[in-house]
Structure formats: C-alpha cells, structure tokens
Amino acid sequence: MSKLVQGYEVVIGFETHAQLSTQSKIFSRASVAFGAEPNTQACAVDMALPGTLPVMNIGAVERAIEFGLAINAHIAERSIFARKNYFYPDLPKGYQISQFEIPVVQGGEVSFFLEEGKETVRKTVRLERAHLEEDAGKSLHEDFIGQSGIDLNRAGTPLLEIVTQPDMRSSEEAVAYAKELHKIVTWIGICDGNMQEGSFRCDANVSVRKPGGELGTRREIKNLNSFKFMQQAIDYEVRWQIDQIEDGIAIQQATVLFDPDTGETRAMRTKEDAADYRYFPDPDLPPLVIGRDWVERVKGEMAELPRVMAERFVKDYALPEYDATQLTQSKAVAAYFEATAKDCGQAKLASNWIMGEVSRRLNASELSIEQSPVSAAQLAALIGRISDNTISNNAARQVFEGLWNGEGEVDALIDAKGLKQMNDTGELEKIIDDVLAANPKNVEEFKAGNAKALNGLVGPIMKASKGKANPGQVNTFLLKKLGTAQRLE
C-alpha cells in the first residue's frame, strides 16, 4: 500500500543523464575533461562545421553494455541513432544525436531498501530503457558586452539517458532510487557520479491521482543535482499539484525548474511531445551492432556487482540481507568490511561496528571510509577484545575513541585507560557481598517481587568495580546470591 498525500497517490518516473567516463567525446576525439577554458575542447565535429561526420566512440558503447548487464536488461543487438531536432543556440547542428525507437539498453530493474515506518522493505523500479546520446553546449548568460556567450566544450559529451517506468510512489522512494542508481554507475565505473559538475543529473516526472484512477498529467522537474534538492523539489511539486487540482485547475504538462533559494518549482516551458522533435534515423551513423560475443566479453571483464556481492555476504558471512546491502554501498566500504570480518572472524560484530560507530564518526567528520583514522585491522583487534571478554562494549567505545584520535593501539589503550574487565570472580563476589550488605532494603524489595529493585544493586556494583565488572557476570552472580535462577530483563 503506497503512502497517500491528502488522499492522492503520487506517481514519479525518472530520466537520468549519466555522463560516461570516456576520455573523448561520443562522436569526436575532443577531450571531455571538466573545467577547461571555454571552447578549447570543441573540435570541428562538435562545432558542426560543414563536411564533418560523427564517428562512434566504442568506449561509450562498452559502458552502455556494462550498465545494461548491471541492471539485468536486454542489450539490443542492433540499435539506431536518431536526430532529435530543435533550435537552441548551444546546439550547433540544430539537432541532437540520440536514440529514439530502438535504444541500446531495454528493460531491466533497480531494487533497493527503503525505511517505511519501522519496517525495512525492498522496492523494485522497472527501467524502460537507457540510450546513448550527445550532450549540448552551454549558454553563458554572464554579460559579454550585452550579449550571452556560448561554450561548446560540453557539446558531444557522451551521455547515457536512463529512463524508468512511472513506478515510484513517494519522494523518499524517488531519492532512494536515485541513490541506488548513482551507486550502480559509480560502482561499475561508467560515470564519476559528480552531481555538482553535472555528471549525474536527474529529471523527475511527477503527477498525482486518486488511488486506482488513471495516471495524472505530469510535470517534469529538470536537472536536480543533489539528493536534498530532489526531495524538496518533489515534495513542493506534489503539494502544488494537489492544491491546483483541489482548486479545480487542471494540471498542464510542463517542464519546470526547482529554485533552491525559494524551495519552489517554476514552469520553464510547456512540454514538447516526441512529435515536436521530428525524430528520424541519422543517416550519418550506421546501426549500432553489438554481437553476443562482445556482450560476453564485457560480462567476463566486469567486477563483482553490488547486488551479487551482497548475496555473497549473506551466504559467506551469515549476514542479514539489510546489513549486506548497507555494506555494499560502495566498494571501499565493502572492502573495509571484508578485511575486518576476515581478520576478527566475527562478521556480524564487524557489520554492527561499521554501520554504527564507524559510519557515525565518519559522517560527523565528513570523511570517506578510505580516510578513516581507524583501520580495518585496528577495528578487528578491537572486536577481538570484545569477543574474548577482555573489555565490555562500553569500554570498547572508549578504546575506539582512542584509536580514532591516534592515541595508540588496542591493547595499549585498554591498559592505559584501565578498561580490562574484571575476570577475577573472587573479587567480583566480594564486591557483590558488600553491596548486598549495604543495601538490605533493595534486597528485601526484590525478594518481595519487585524486579526493579535489582537496578539499585547493579548500579553500586558496577561503580565499586569502576565499570570493569562484566555486566552479564554481575547479573548471574547477583541472582544466584539472591536465591533465584530466573533471568531478569
């Protein structure tokens, strides 16, 4: 059951432009490096000089194949490039080379976990297609003596446009999808994923409807370049559309922009339909033919995919599916986990520490796991000392703090901070006897059936042991001495 907003169901479909990580452009040999002086990376082909012809960049095709394999899609044996005609100053040919009727990647799906209330549920978004196309240049509306400027460096940059079915039902789901897609393209290395530089741009198509009704008219929010803006933009758009409909105003299909300063979406133009673009096959490019042997070769050369790795973590390390998915958010996190788990032999503890304390500290200091001051080997050593009962969980957090601050290694820190758990049972029993003798009232109340009275005893015992008593052991001894074997919460 999807979440309703004021009685309306939200419907979202995504179009994402992922810039492919090739050295050169999709149909020319000009460089695609970011940040060069305007118009220094546009060759004759990119500028559409007469007599030039496009030549397909095999590296771009190979990346499209990798993407198709990563999402279980069909890789077309024969796909077609088409001209999408429109006039814009930054589009020198007057058309964009794209794919229309027969795209290179067809179908496929992306699935991910989502928190819904207290539950974690798995969602799957079906992909419609992914096609290869070239990027346009950029208009610069700074003041060039009263005129706008055009930078054609970006013209001809290879893009993979990834289109979903309208399968998402909330802004949270849309953001989770976008994050998962981002993870996939960066994991397989076909895109650097840099959202600020525009390497991964999402357009969100949003509509609302009464549950079970026909699809509503959509508006497309263009170029969302951060996950935060994505959520804000969709939430605003949904409320806006519902307000319009409630006021009796029909939604017009349109392309809108999100303004991060006002938090609002604003119509940019009414949306063109496919027919407006006068698509037709590009006579300058032959059909793109991809033999099965090529697909097989690419498959053989690809690194383990995140979902395959997650399945392996479940099998090899007996981890819950949720943990396995969290730990395969990036290759670096997965490698850190595997190194820790292998080293200490306690996969679940390693997972808990990495998803808990380690991520919390990394997030707070805005560090990536590669920059973690605590190495996998150090974390493994720490976990080893918890599982051999040398230190309690509480003490372990203090040791972790010491590791984080570079104060020394695990055993040295345990000694220096005096954190070793009391393993001398004689000493512990003596402390317990003293505390029982000093607190007759609690003992009496406990024996009379008040389980809570035990807390009044455990506290002073831990204090007398300077926190070094093993809480499990304290519990066992205490109950034995109070003459009950019953375990207490």
Q: Catalog residues that contact ligand ADP under the rule CB under 6 A.
A: 11-15, 163-166, 205-207, 215-216, 218, 274
C-beta of 351: minimal distance to ligand ADP in Å? 35
Q: What is the C-alpha to C-alpha distance for residues 227 and 242, in angstroms, rounded to an integer?
A: 23
Which CB, 13 or 54, lies closer to ligand ADP?
A: 13
Which CB, 274 or 485, lies closer to ligand ADP?
A: 274
Which residue has the closest beta carbon to ligand ADP? 13
- Cβ atoms of residues 281 and 85 within 8 Å: no
Side-chain-side CA neighbours of 72 within 13 Å: the count stands at: 10
Which CB, 205 or 439, lies closer to ligand ADP?
A: 205
C-beta of 167: minimal distance to ligand ADP in Å? 7
Q: What is the C-alpha to C-alpha distance for residues 387 and 200, in angstroms, rounded to an integer?
A: 43
Which CB, 8 or 313, lies closer to ligand ADP?
A: 8
A 10 A CB-CB count for 22 gives: 19
Three-state DSSP at 393 gives helix
Planar angle of CA 315, 321, 324, nearest 5 degrees: 75
C-beta of 13: minimal distance to ligand ADP in Å? 2
- Residue 224 is encoded by which pair of tokens? 């969302």
Q: What DSSP character marks residue 386?
A: H
Phi, psi (5° rounding) for residue 446? -60, -45
Q: What is the C-alpha to C-alpha distance for residues 160 and 179, in angstroms, rounded to an integer?
A: 17
C-beta of 114: minimal distance to ligand ADP in Å? 18
Residue 261, CA distances (Å) to 89, 168, 193, 203, 209 in order: 27, 26, 24, 19, 29
C-beta of 164: minimal distance to ligand ADP in Å? 5
A 10 A CB-CB count for 392 gives: 20
Q: What DSSP character marks residue 38?
A: T
Residue 185, CA distances (Å) to 17, 18, 181, 305, 482 in order: 11, 8, 6, 10, 61
Which CB, 269 or 447, lies closer to ligand ADP?
A: 269
Which CB, 217 or 475, lies closer to ligand ADP?
A: 217
Which CB, 15 or 445, lies closer to ligand ADP?
A: 15
Which CB, 206 or 443, lies closer to ligand ADP?
A: 206
